[in-house]
Structure 1
Amino acid sequence: MSIFSSLIWGFIFLNSALAIFTVFKDKERDIAATWAWLLVITMLPGVGIFFYMFLGRKISRESIFDLQSQDRIGMPQLVESQKKLIESENLDVPESNYQDKTFEMVRLFLESSQSVLTKGNKVSIISDGEDKFNQLIDDIKKAEHHIHVTYYIFRGDNIGLKLLKALEEKAKQGIEVKVLYDPVGARVLGKHFFDQLESYGGKAEPFFGSKFFLINLRLNYRNHRKIVVIDGKVGYTGGFNVGDDYLGLYEEMGYWRDTHLRIEGNGVLTLQTRFLMDWNASVKDKNVEYEEQYFPFSSLIGSTDMQIVSSGPDNEMQSIKKGFIKMISMAKESVLIQTPYFIPDEALMETIKVAILSGINVKLMIPNKPDHPFIYRATLSYAEELIMSGAEVYIYDNGFLHSKVIVIDGEILSVGTANFDIRSFKLNFEVNAFIYDRFLAKKQVRLFNDDMKVSYPLTEEMIKNYSKWEVFKQQFSRLFSPIL
């Protein structure tokens, strides 16, 4: 055997040994993700280990502790109070056709995410990007004390500059402005993008890591949350990021169909808590303490009861996924899902299948085009599996569908930042509103039905006519679904 051959075999042996040691040393990783990473490392010797170092490593226990040790700013007493009411069965839960199950759902979020139930909020659903940004900028102009902003993607295009200008004007007036951005999602911004804002006293900081995303060993853990809080009285969350594409101005994507919420009432305070915890986790030398002006408790101003639920790699509970499972298992008639990416884990997939076999009408809507082709192939594979189980799958054909919504029986709905995929459940920092309001749930059903008019059904016949190459791409992409 030549020296060159010996070196090659030595490298393969070393790569395999390193793969086994590196991946299996994390005993808490689920087995599907473990095998997926082993496949990557062995198929791409050398390069695979590099990918794993940046994308596969879990947050260290020390880093998790740093995040979890941030004090829950705002309403710890209310959390404990509601837990005691749960134990004594005296908590006033929203009315529904399954009162006991709603009680269980409220308790689930209190226990898993310390998510308090807030009552009497005024909530509106926004499904168009231009409407969302017009309302947002109008609210920003009215700010009197503070504006807190988190976005995953923040572009320096027309709408990005327009939003930045509005924030600069308020900072110039002495209003507190804090912007938290994800260093990967905002990677296209110039390093001086926020200089003018900061010169007026505003603050802009990257979430949980270096501004230089290419040298960030936490690269795989993204802050996918979208939160705006204005004076603790008005809040926004949902699917829209900041960019002209979210206004439907990118020709290759077409009209951008998304779902966002505008919230008034005490539900805003739970968004405030989430923002300030994220801020303190990212800007450790400038921690924000509790101030009454951040948390102006209000009387009941609407009819919507809701819980704001967070999840991320800092908490093994996967609270949003558990909420989806709970909702689907509660359904008596229908489950409607909109998501750009559908890559469920085994637990969620089995829950959906059980619902289908129980006679529940399950409808899934996904886009007709990929913004991430590899993930889209895996999405199609799982969607086809649902069709074979008896679900209806619709392909949105009026642009790009980015909406992240689930509604059951026209009774309960969830709108937020989390997709129906393993990344959103385990790797991204996400936030969803779980809403107990028949009026809003039925409005979302009407929006879904309107979207169906510009969609087409994915049928078994269409699936059978796929080429072998198309089938291979879908199955190959699905192999890596646990780490997508």
Structure 2
Amino acid sequence: MFFLPLLLIGIALWIIIDLSYGRIVHLRRVRSRSFPLRQSDFHLYTYGKDLYDTLFTDIKQAKHHVHVLFFIVKNDKISREFLKLLIDKAKEGIEVRLLLDRLGSHHLSNEAIRSLQKHGVSFSFCHKVKFPFPFFSANQRNHRKITVIDGKIGYIGGFNIGEEYLGHNERLGLWRDYHLRLTGEGVQDLQKQFLHDWFDDTNQNLLVASLYFPKQQPGTIQHQFIPTDGAYLQHTFLHLIEGAKKELFIGTPYFIPGRKIMNALLEARKRGVQITILVPEKADHALVREAKFPYCRKLIQAGCNIYAFQQGFFHAKVIIVDDYICDIGTANFDMRSLYINHEINCLLYDKHFIQTVRNKFHKDLGNASLLSFKDVSPHSLIDRGKEWIGTILAFFL
């Protein structure tokens, strides 16, 4: 009679201890990291078809190696086309390495993996479940999206590989995201990060191999890559918010900032900074919409403008501070990206490129509706219950 309740309590305590001590041990090991200021040339992609066309062409033209890290590769038409392209390059004798998050890419079939390996693609899942903290390790995902081709072309941003990123998901509709293609000095840093992650999950150390780091000519745009491993991203976001003098634009699919960043936003508003936040109207995960509402209410009361994207699903991760710095990367404006996931972001310091990003952002605002306090308030007991559960689980959403 008492066995089942005791068992459930024991499991709950085990999970709590696992998550708590797993994070403590992780924080003792992890260090704040950043790459030097670099000069590269960039192109911004906001539609999946445009990105895939260029990415696939670059891969087809690879002469030495193709290194790919994604959070999600699915088991649909475009994903199979992508995997076939990697196999074709491996058949040509090109070195191909594919690193995928174990949980994010769970749709990928064992048959597809065997085919990759059979045809010469070096494949590994990252962030497999590990003891002695299985729950913590299962929760800690590699959310980075990096592609490096011949050490000369790099990609980073919000897109994964799948049909929904082409706008083919009937429920979500058009997919809007921000993804960067670069050439120049910064490619070496994306290469280092990929090879760092590859070593972590395969124990194969290629970081000292100079052939993966061909000398590159500087580009025209100053920038810096900031990788984070479940810690220290908060420092970057706080620095950006606290540095704002006039305007702050934030675009994110999941807005769950936590107490410290929320306080920084409210302080920025008190000193006169105009804050505009763009989020999706639709939600692709349970409770993320409800979890953001308490933060939205406080910010709306403080005079911030919060818009909901209406033309499909908005998945971009972007922060624009005045006209002097812009952040684009893989990290969402939520507690999972801040404190759990492994991410990489790019800080850009070029006014002309920032204006390009601002123009894209304002175009997206034109397809969004301004939210009122009433819009983000619960209207029923069910709404209140969802918001309460979302608040409790915010760290894991």
Shorter-chain TM-score range? over 0.9
Does the alignment pair 1:297 with 2:215? yes
CA distance in 1, matches of 2:136, 2:235: 28
Does the alignment pair 1:404 with 2:317? yes
The CA deviation at 1:179 is 0.5
* DSSP-derived class of the 1:185 partner: coil
Q: Residue 474 of structure 1 corresponds to which residue in structure 2?
A: 387
CA contact (8 A) 2:291 2:387 kept: yes
Structure 1 residues 394 and 232, CA gap change in structure 2 (3 angstroms):
same
CA distance in 1, matches of 2:259, 2:16: 23
CA distance in 2, matches of 1:399, 1:46: 43
Q: Residue 323 of structure 1 corresponds to which residue in structure 2?
A: 236
Does the alignment pair 1:456 with 2:372? no
CA contact (8 A) 1:356 1:362 kept: yes
The CA deviation at 1:50 is 6.1
1:118 maps to a residue whose letter is R
CA contact (8 A) 2:65 2:149 kept: yes
Mean Cα deviation higher: 49-58 or 364-373: 49-58
CA distance in 1, matches of 2:340, 2:351: 32
CA contact (8 A) 2:196 2:207 kept: no
Does the alignment pair 1:276 with 2:240? no
CA distance in 2, matches of 1:471, 1:380: 10
2:235 maps to a residue whose letter is K
1:143 maps to a residue whose letter is A
2:186 maps to a residue whose letter is G
Structure 1 residues 269 and 327, CA gap change in structure 2 (3 angstroms):
same
* DSSP-derived class of the 1:423 partner: helix
Structure 1 residues 358 and 242, CA gap change in structure 2 (3 angstroms):
same
Scaled by the length of structure 2, the TM-score of the pair is 0.93
> What is the aligned counterpart of 1:248 among 167, 175, 178?
167
2:355 maps to a residue whose letter is K
CA contact (8 A) 1:237 1:260 kept: yes
1:402 maps to a residue whose letter is H
CA distance in 2, matches of 1:56, 1:159: 39
Mean Cα deviation higher: 466-475 or 170-179: 466-475
* DSSP-derived class of the 1:245 partner: helix
CA distance in 1, matches of 2:368, 2:118: 48
CA distance in 2, matches of 1:217, 1:392: 36
* DSSP-derived class of the 2:215 partner: coil
Q: Deviations over 1:150-181 (max 9, x none)?
A: 00111021111111111111111111000011
CA distance in 2, matches of 1:305, 1:312: 24
Scaled by the length of structure 1, the TM-score of the pair is 0.77
Q: Residue 298 of structure 2 corresponds to which residue in structure 1?
A: 385
Does the alignment pair 1:116 with 2:36? yes
CA distance in 2, matches of 1:187, 1:405: 27
Report matched runs for 1:147-166 at 5 Å: 147-166=66-85
Aligned length: 394
Q: Residue 204 of structure 1 corresponds to which residue in structure 2?
A: 123
The CA deviation at 1:260 is 0.4
Does the alignment pair 1:307 with 2:224? yes
Q: CA RMSD in A?
A: 2.3
Does the alignment pair 1:220 with 2:133? no
CA distance in 2, matches of 1:56, 1:256: 36
CA distance in 1, matches of 2:227, 2:166: 27
The CA deviation at 1:199 is 2.3
Does the alignment pair 1:443 with 2:360? no
Please identify the structure whose Cα radius of gyration is greater. Answer: 1
Structure 1 residues 340 and 463, CA gap change in structure 2 (3 angstroms):
closer
* DSSP-derived class of the 1:309 partner: strand
Q: Residue 354 of structure 1 corresponds to which residue in structure 2?
A: 267
CA distance in 1, matches of 2:175, 2:16: 33
CA contact (8 A) 2:192 2:207 kept: no
The CA deviation at 1:52 is 4.2
* DSSP-derived class of the 1:112 partner: coil
CA distance in 1, matches of 2:48, 2:19: 31
Does the alignment pair 1:338 with 2:251? yes
Q: Deviations over 1:42-93 (max 9, x none)?
A: xx7355346547766525748975xx6xxxxxxxxxxxxxxxxxxxxxxxxx
2:288 maps to a residue whose letter is I
